[in-house]
Amino acid sequence: MEPLITIKNIGRKYVIGTEVIHALKDVSLTINKGEFVALMGPSGSGKSTLMNILGCLDTPTKGEYILNGINVSHMSDNQLAEVRNSEIGFVFQTFNLLPRNTALDNVALPLIYSGVSKVDRLARAEQALKNVGLGNRIDHRPNELSGGQRQRVAVARALINDPSIILADEPTGNLDTKTSIEIMSLMEDIHAKGNTIILVTHEEDIAMHAHRIVRMRDGLVERDYINTNVQIVDRSGIV
C-alpha cells in the first residue's frame, strides 16, 4: 500500500533582503493512512514551515510532495485551495471561527466550497457537532461558547469533508489543562475511527498522545521514532 504522504528531499528557502533563510534543508518523510504523528521542534526548527507544506499552505523550493497519490509540489494557489478543501482538515490554536456565524454555519462552511446543497450541508454539520458532543450548541455563536467548545466546533469543521488527514496546529495551546485533556481525548477518538492525524506541538505531554514523534531541528528531521509510551487519556469524569 502506498503511503498517504510522501515527501522527498524537501527544501524551502526564503529571501529576505540580501539574506537567504533555509527554513527546510533536506527533509524526507512518509506517513501512512491511520497514523497519529506528532511534529515537534524548537522555534526556528522548521516545523511550522513543514506544517505549511504538508497542509498545502505553501510549496517547497525543491523536492517532491505526494499527498494521497497527488503530486502537489508545484501546484498553483487555486489548485492547492482545492486540495486543501478536499484532502485536509485543519484545527488551529486560535480556532479560526467566524464570530458572527453559529456553530452550525461554521462547521458547514467547507461544504459550500464543495458544492453541497444547503439542506445536506446543514444536516451533515449538525451530525458532525453531535459527534463531538455539541448537539445542544448548534445555534450558539463563538462568543457564547467556552474555549473547549470552540475547539470542538473547529474539530467538527475539520472532519466535515471526510479529509485524508487532520492537521492540528497547537490545538491545546489556548486551553487550560482540563480542557486540553478533553480535546486530546477527542483526538484519540477520531484517530481510533481510522483518521490520520498530524499534530504540531511544542508540549511534550501533548505529543505523548501520538503514536509516532518526528523531531525537527535546524531545518532537518533530527529524530523520527515510534512512541512506546503513548499516554492514554483517563476518560473518567470527562463529559
Q: How many domains does the chain have?
A: 1
In a domain, 232, yes or no: no
Say if 237 falls within a structural domain: no
pLDDT at 238 over 80: no
231 lies in some domain: no
In a domain, 177, yes or no: yes
Confidence label for 234 from pLDDT (cuts 50, 70 and 90)? low
CATH number of residue 76's parent domain: 3.40.50.300
Assess if residue 238 is contained within a domain: no
Question: pLDDT over 70 for what percent of the chain?
Answer: 96
Residue 239 lies in a domain: no
Arithmetic mean of pLDDT over the chain: 93
pLDDT grade for 239, boundaries at 50, 70 and 90? very low
Are residues 62 and 11 in contact, defined by beta-carbon separation less than 8 angstroms?
A: yes
Q: Which of 108, 199, 193 is nearest to 156 (CA)?
A: 108
From edge to edge, which strands make up the β-sheet containing 212-217? 88-92, 165-169, 196-200, 36-40, 212-217, 220-226
- Residue 60: inside a domain: yes
Residue-level pLDDT at 130: 95
Which among 191, 200, 209, 154 is positioned nearest to 43, based on CA atoms?
A: 200
Which of these, 181, 198, 185, 232, lies nearest to 48 by C-alpha position?
A: 198
pLDDT in tens, 68-126: 999 999 899 999 999 999 999 999 998 999 999 999 999 999 999 888 999 999 999 99
The H-or-E segment that residue 153 falls in is: helix 147-159
Give this prediction's pTM: 0.92
> Whole domain around residue 209: which residue ranges?
5-226
Res. 29: pLDDT tops 70: yes
Could you tell me if residue 195 is inside a domain? yes
What pLDDT sits at residue 126? 97
Q: Which whole number is the average pLDDT over 152-179?
A: 94
Q: What does the pLDDT average to over 201-229? A: 95
Asked if the model's pLDDT at residue 237 lies above 60, the reply is no
